[in-house]
């Protein structure tokens, strides 16, 4: 282990966002970092971690309330750390290529925290999932797995590289680069 500890927090109703978080964390653990993958509600604090990756499923155009609450509750300590966000939700075969902005309430918080980057990944819908709207979507042909794990791995590798560089710099005695300016 290289001494870097990463938190992967997620909010997921039906498990597909949790699987994305675990997949991203696996990429980090392969580089020798310690990883904790935890539902947002179970996170008491972030001080143990060098950096945080937060992901939320999107329902009705919104992030899950507990994920937004996570950003507010831990804002003070998140400000001192590198933070990456991802959202999971678009359904349909163009899901991977569609650019999706963050919901406004999340983008305001992301701006304040100066998050490093944001990714949107396709979602997954099973038959008989998601209540009446889920059934409607399933009948319309959207019950499928639109997650692209190759794309997810590329994003994970990119942010793992940034984290490893940052950690090596700090270990060599340098100050954290975080608030240095335009890289965010
Ligand atoms: C009722 C319902 C509403 C949804 N609304 C949205 C939405 O507004 N935007 C979006 O991108 N995806 C939407 N989705 C797709 C989900 O975000 C997708 O199924 C996601 O993978 C669910 O994540 P989870 O398994 O972690 O809960 C919706 C799905 C359901 C069932």
Residues 157, 80: Cα–Cα separation, whole Å: 22
Q: For ligand 1, which residues put their CB under 6 angstroms from it? A: 12-17, 57-61, 88-91, 123-125, 130-131, 133-134, 137
* Alpha carbon of 182 to ligand 1 centroid (Å): 33
Range of the domain at 88: 5-180
Higher pLDDT, 98 or 41: 41
Query: Residue of the nearest CA to atom 23 in ligand 1?
Result: 57
pLDDT per residue over 146-170, tens digit each?
999 999 999 999 999 999 988 887 7
Q: What is the mean pLDDT of residues 106-127?
A: 96
Of the chain, the percentage scoring pLDDT greater than 90 comes to 74
- The per-residue pLDDT for 78 is 98
Q: Please report which residue ranges of the chain form alpha helices under DSSP H.
A: 16-30, 65-73, 75-78, 104-113, 131-139, 149-171
Ligand 1 atom at shortest distance from the alpha carbon of 20: 26
pTM equals: 0.93
Residues 182, 23: Cα–Cα separation, whole Å: 29
Counting the structural domains of the chain, the total is 1
Confidence of residue 179 (pLDDT cuts 50, 70, 90): very low
CATH number of the domain residue 129 falls in? 3.40.50.360
Q: Which DSSP state fits 77?
A: H
pLDDT per residue over 1-37, tens digit each?
678 999 999 999 999 999 999 999 999 999 999 999 9
DSSP 20-69: HHHHHHHHHHHTT-EEEEEEGGG----TT-SEEEEEEEEETTEE-HHHHH
- Is residue 6 within 8 Å of residue 83, measured between CB atoms? no
Residues 114, 184: Cα–Cα separation, whole Å: 6
- The per-residue pLDDT for 171 is 79
- Kind of pairing, strands 51-59 and 62-63? antiparallel
- The per-residue pLDDT for 181 is 39
Q: Using the predicted structure, report yes or no on whether residue 174 has a pLDDT greater than 80.
A: no
Pocket test for ligand 1, best of 57, 98, 127 (most atoms within 8 A of CB): 57
* Alpha carbon of 169 to ligand 1 centroid (Å): 39
- Is residue 123 within 8 Å of residue 152, measured between CB atoms? no
- The per-residue pLDDT for 176 is 60
- The per-residue pLDDT for 98 is 63
Could you give the 3-state DSSP secondary structure of residue 12? coil
- Sequence-distant (6+) residues with CB within 8 A of 171 are 3
Nearest-10 Cα torsion for 21, 26, 27, 30: 160
**153: nearest Cα among 22, 1, 60, 62:** 22
């Amino acid at each position: 282990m290289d001494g870097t500890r990463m938190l992967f927090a997620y909010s997921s109703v039906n498990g597909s966002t949790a699987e994305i978080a675990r997949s991203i964390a696996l990429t980090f653990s392969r580089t020798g970092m310690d990883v904790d993958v935890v539902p947002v509600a179970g996170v008491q604090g972030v001080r143990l971690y060098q950096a945080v990756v937060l992901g939320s499923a999107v329902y009705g155009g919104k992030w899950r309330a507990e994920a937004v609450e996570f950003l507010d509750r831990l804002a003070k300590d998140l400000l001192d750390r590198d933070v990456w966000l991802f959202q999971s939700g678009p359904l349909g075969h163009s899901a991977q290529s569609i650019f999706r902005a963050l919901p406004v309430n999340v983008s305001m918080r992301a701006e304040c925290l100066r998050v490093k980057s944001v990714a949107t990944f396709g979602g997954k819908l099973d038959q008989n999932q998601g209540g009446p709207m889920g059934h409607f979507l399933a009948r319309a042909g959207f019950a499928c797995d639109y997650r692209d794990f190759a794309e997810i791995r590329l994003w994970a590798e990119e942010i793992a590289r940034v984290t490893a560089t940052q950690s090596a710099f700090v270990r060599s005695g340098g100050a954290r680069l975080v608030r240095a300016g335009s890289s965010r």
